[in-house]
Amino acid sequence: MGSCDRWWQKCGFRQAKREFAHLLRETESCLLKDSRQFRSLFVNDQVHEDWKHNGVKVVSGDHLDLNTPQTEGMNRAAAINRATAGADKLWAGTVHIHADAKTGVHHHGDLESIIYIVSGRARMRWGESLQYVCEAGPGDFIYVPPFVPHQEINASVDEPLNCVLVRSNQEPVVVNLDIPVVEDPDGLFWIDPIHADPNAAKDPS
């Protein structure tokens, strides 16, 4: 075999090698694409199935959970919890507070809470000595951050306060603080799914 023949044979081998490598890359790309499409279809079907059974929930106003401790002069009802919606990290419900009711000074640990005023007027005091104060009326939202010392007050002496309460945990957290109150509850306590009735612990029944 002459040198020219050997040269052409060598070039042909190189060309075949390049074409084979290109074919391998194309095949690998197609297989990877098909694999991704298959996995995407499977995952999406699975997700859609979960969304169907564990997706959006609507709890109508006439189906609220009344299986919560009740106190004379007020009504409490859970809207969103584990029982009604399968919620793990949120609790939401309605609360009706009687006139002139107040809490003691406290904070809620690392809990975040939101109060939406439906009707009536709420007053909030907060700070190391309750030196800050604000009021909220219908349509207003109140946000209470973690660990903030505060006191909730129904600002009206003759009108009830109706609001929606949302908290960042299923369980209530209340840490009572030894801080002098500016407005003494004087027996009329603000009681809701976070704030327990202080007289309940004293009731032997």
**Per-residue model confidence as pLDDT tens digits over 143-163:** 999 999 998 899 999 999 999
In terms of domains, do 70 and 47 share one? Answer: no
Confidence of residue 86 (pLDDT cuts 50, 70, 90): confident
In terms of domains, do 48 and 75 share one? Answer: no
In terms of domains, do 83 and 157 share one? Answer: yes
pLDDT at residue 124 in the model: 94
pLDDT at residue 9 in the model: 61
Q: Strand runs (DSSP E) across the chain, as ranges?
A: 75-80, 91-97, 106-107, 113-119, 122-126, 132-136, 141-144, 150-154, 161-167, 175-176
Cβ-count burial of 163 within 10 angstroms (0-12 exposed, 13-18 middle, 19+ buried)?
buried
pLDDT at residue 98 in the model: 86
Angle at the Cα of 66 from the Cα atoms of 91 and 145, rounded to 5 degrees = 25
In terms of domains, do 110 and 157 share one? Answer: yes
In terms of domains, do 173 and 156 share one? Answer: yes
Identify the bridge partners of residue 115 per DSSP, sorted by sequence position.
142, 165
Tokens representing 109 are: 């640990």
Confidence of residue 119 (pLDDT cuts 50, 70, 90): very high
pLDDT tens for each residue of 31-72: 666 666 655 555 555 555 577 777 888 888 888 877 765 544
**Residue 63, C-beta contacts closer than 8 angstroms, at least 6 positions apart:** 84
Looking at residue 124, which CATH number applies to its domain?
2.60.120.10
Residues 168-179 as b or e (16 or more Cβ within 10 Å = b): ebeebbeeeeeb
Residue 137 reports pLDDT greater than 90: yes
Do 162 and 118 touch, CB atoms closer than 8 A? yes
In terms of domains, do 124 and 148 share one? Answer: yes
Domain count, the chain: 2
Q: Which domain holds residue 188?
A: 61-202
Separation CA 79–CA 20 (nearest Å):
65
Q: Which residue has the higher pLDDT, 60 or 6?
A: 60
Separation CA 115–CA 154 (nearest Å):
12
In terms of domains, do 30 and 105 share one? Answer: no
Over range 78-83, report the average pLDDT.
86
Torsion angle, alpha carbons of 164, 170, 176, 181, to 10: -10
In terms of domains, do 101 and 180 share one? Answer: yes
Torsion angle, alpha carbons of 132, 135, 141, 142, to 10: 30
